[in-house]
Chain A
Amino acid sequence: MDPWLYQTTQQLAQESTAYEERAFFQALSQLALEQEKRITQAQGEIDGRSWDEKAW
């Protein structure tokens, strides 16, 4: 499921009447997706490192 920040900014991008504002929310929604991806990757790396048997 898409994160709240992405959904909300996508909605604002569609509702905005000013082009600059649509562009801003559109770009912010993409940043929100990138944030989620990086958080997931970082959590994955932490899990991976926590299970590194060499460190046990």
Chain B
Amino acid sequence: MQTLIIVAHPEIAASSTQQFLRRGAELVAADWQPLMSEFNVATEQAKLRAAKRIIWQFPLYWYSAPAILKAWQDQVLTSKFVLHEHGLAGKELGIVATTDTKASDYQSGAAEQFTMAELLRPYQALANKAGMHWLPPFVLHQFSYQTETQQQQLLIAYQQYLTLPQPATFAQRQHWFAQRLQQMIATATGERKTQLTLIAQQLATKQDELAELRWTIEQMRGDD
């Protein structure tokens, strides 16, 4: 699946968060496209047509994207392209937003009062109008405050967000790791190859065990 990431950040080179995410995007061969102040409408529309999943990625500025994304939208997403030619129909739209505010602030009664889903509603409306499938947004809160372990898990979660059906099931996430392990095994040698193979086998065994238990439960529920 071809994922196109449109990054709207005024100082992308200086953003450690964006550089971090870029590594994740490269690992899954997603198309990383930082927005520049000038763009060619026909070229941009061609990129959109080629993609299956489109991601708008940006830091939240006053509950919205930086101005460059709006300028791009206004010029590229013409009525002709979106409504008459259905240039985006059937594609997926995901938002990757970064914020320095903690996640628990985005709820009624908390500091920000509104949930992230409410704040990102205009993008959801656009997806709806364009006939796109709206994905659950991927929001990074306070990236720089995260521990190294949290950031490592984030790198994997981001790769899965770019590549797996969303929202991904646990079975799909298990499968993602299994596939990655097979790729690593293919290039490994000696003791490492043996160790990776054992890991892959154990992962598959546990996956089967869980699937079998789930199946049994479904049968029991069906008998109720």
Residues of A that sit less than 8 Å from B by CB = 4-5, 8-9, 12-13, 19-20, 22-24, 26-28, 30-32, 34-36, 38-39, 42-43, 45-46, 49-50, 55
Contacts and interface: CB of A to CB of B under 8 A. Distances in A.
Interface in B151-184: 151-153, 155-157, 170, 173-174, 177, 180
B207 A35 contact: yes
A26 B153 contact: yes
Q: Is the interface of B mostly helix, strand, loop or mixed?
A: helix
A35 B220 contact: no
A27 B23 contact: no
Contacts of B199: 5, 8-9, 12, 28
Interface of B: 23, 27, 149, 151-153, 155-157, 170, 173-174, 177, 180, 195, 198-199, 202-203, 206-207, 209-210, 213-214, 216-217, 220-221, 223-224
Contacts of B157: 27
Contacts of A38: 170, 210
A26 B152 contact: yes
Given A27-B152, A39-B209, A42-B214, A55 B223 contact: yes
A26 B173 CA distance: 14
Contact of B213 (A19, A28, A42): A42
Given A23-B153, A31-B173, A39 B210 contact: yes
Q: Is the interface of A mostly helix, strand, loop or mixed?
A: helix
Contact of A46 (B149, B207, B213): B213
A46 B152 contact: no
Contacts of A49: 217, 220-221
B206 A39 contact: yes
Contacts of B209: 39
Given A8-B199, A55-B223, A35 B174 contact: yes
Nearest to A5: B202
A49 to B, nearest CB: 5
Contact of A32 (B23, B180, B198, B203): B203
B199 to A, nearest CB: 6
Contacts of B174: 31, 35
A35 B210 contact: yes
B213 A39 contact: yes
